[in-house]
């Protein structure tokens, strides 16, 4: 009875149709540069059409640039990621990736150019190698190792009883918070996508893990166009530009020093929110 019930659910999942579909003849993306452009985007979640989450949102991120998104809870920072990832369709405006309107492309093709490090990435009970390779199935052992090295994860993985082949337990429960974060950064890096979307974890880490995670993020940002939802001072200081969001709009743009000097929302956020 239980198995039959579970099978029904699996069948339902296999039959489900994605809400965001590819157009009949999708546009091709050019060679990847990692350029992102939001133009006057307006968006409300389908479940709450009256609540506008992004309102006239515009942002241009140049290839290789690191842009930090900061703003109070509910400002719409995660929604920016979700639209770029094509999890939802938006009603007005335009989003371009490498100069092409993402609505004209196959959502799958758009996603191969993006690499997401979520706040709490889902890690699995497989080995360290399995967990990293989840980022890109075809990655070779060398590529998995190189990604782990960049993510400052090589030290602790090599120290595990069977190295990369060590089973990590359900949800990788045998690892510490900082190790899990570095493993999810390695998973994102193995994808070799030009754009990195980072939702920085808010969980507090000890000083050594914090240093290693920051080093991993620094490495990751170096070779990618990076959009980061930042919660730490060390991260905003690495950004080329900081975009301050409030109620779905961009209210200010600048470097940390410029924004602090101007006072206003950023200065208040910086003094209240950033963990140092
Ligand atoms: P936080 O820092 O708390 O994560 P955020 O700036 O990332 O906040 P979003 O998650 O983008 O904010 O949310 C913006 C607004 O959209 C909020 O008012 C939120 O309640 C609403 N929202 C988010 N997800 C959904 C959803 N799936 N359906 C309906 N409304 C949503």
The helix (H) or strand (E) run that includes residue 196 is strand 195-199
Give the pLDDT score at 275.
57
Going by CA atoms, what residue is nearest to atom 22 of ligand 1? 45
Q: Is 9 in the pocket of ligand 1 (CB under 6 A)?
A: no
Q: Which of these, 135, 43, 134, lies nearest to 87 by C-alpha position?
A: 43
Task: Give the position, in ligand 1's atom list, of the atom nearest the Cα of 245.
Answer: 6
pTM for the full predicted model: 0.88
Going by CA atoms, what residue is nearest to atom 11 of ligand 1? 76
Task: Give the position, in ligand 1's atom list, of the atom nearest the Cα of 80.
Answer: 11
Task: Give the position, in ligand 1's atom list, of the atom nearest the Cα of 82.
Answer: 11
Give the pLDDT score at 52.
93
Give the pLDDT score at 190.
94
Coil vs helix vs strand at 254? strand
Neighbours of 86 (CB within 10 A): 25
Distance 174 CA to ligand 1 centre (A): 31
Give the pLDDT score at 7.
97
Sign of the torsion formed by the C-alpha atoms of 248, 83, 188 and 33: negative
Residue of 54, 70, 76 best suited for mutating to test ligand 1, as the one with most atoms within 8 Å of CB: 76
Tokens of 221: 């940002």
DSSP assignment of 44-94, as one string? E-TT-TTSEEEEEEEEEE-TT-EEEEE-STTSSHHHHHHHHTTSS--SEEE
Give the pLDDT score at 59.
95
Going by CA atoms, what residue is nearest to atom 31 of ligand 1? 45
Q: Would you give per-residue pLDDT tens digits along the chain (276 residues)?
A: 999 999 999 999 999 988 888 889 999 999 999 999 999 999 999 999 999 999 999 999 999 999 999 998 899 999 999 999 999 999 899 999 999 999 999 999 999 999 999 887 788 888 999 999 999 999 999 999 999 999 898 888 999 998 888 888 777 777 888 888 889 999 999 998 999 999 987 777 777 878 888 888 888 888 899 999 988 888 888 899 999 999 999 999 999 889 888 888 888 888 876 755
Q: Strand (E) positions, 75-221?
A: 92-97, 100-101, 114-117, 195-199
Q: Which residues pair with 96 in a beta bridge?
A: 37, 101
Give the pLDDT score at 50.
92
């Amino acid at each position: 009875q239980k198995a039959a019930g579970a099978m029904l659910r699996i069948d339902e999942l296999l039959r489900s149709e994605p809400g965001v579909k590819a157009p009949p003849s999708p546009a091709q993306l050019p060679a990847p540069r990692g350029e992102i452009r939001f133009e006057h985007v307006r968006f409300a979640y389908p479940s709450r059409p009256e609540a506008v989450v992004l309102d006239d949102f515009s942002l241009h991120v140049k290839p290789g640039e690191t842009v930090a998104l900061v703003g109070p809870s509910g400002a719409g920072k995660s929604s920016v990621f979700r639209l770029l990832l094509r999890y939802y369709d938006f009603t007005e405006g335009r989003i371009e990736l490498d100069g092409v309107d993402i609505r004209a492309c196959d959502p799958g093709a758009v996603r191969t150019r993006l690499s997401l490090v979520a706040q709490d990435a889902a890690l699995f009970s497989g080995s360290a190698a399995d967990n990293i390779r989840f980022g890109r199935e075809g990655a070779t052992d060398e590529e998995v190792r190189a990604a782990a090295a960049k993510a400052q994860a090589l030290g602790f993985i090599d120290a595990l009883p069977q190295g990369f082949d060590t089973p990590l337990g359900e949800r990788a429960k045998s690892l510490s918070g900082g190790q899990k974060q570095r493993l999810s950064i390695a998973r994102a890096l193995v994808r070799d996508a030009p754009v990195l979307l980072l939702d920085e974890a808010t969980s507090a880490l000890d000083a050594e893990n914090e240093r290693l995670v920051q080093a991993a993020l620094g490495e990751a940002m170096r070779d990618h166009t990076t959009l980061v939802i930042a919660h730490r001072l060390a991260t905003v200081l690495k950004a080329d530009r900081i975009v301050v969001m409030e109620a779905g709009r961009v209210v200010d743009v600048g470097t940390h020093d410029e924004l602090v000097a101007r006072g206003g929302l950023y200065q208040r956020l910086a003094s209240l929110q950033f963990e140092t």
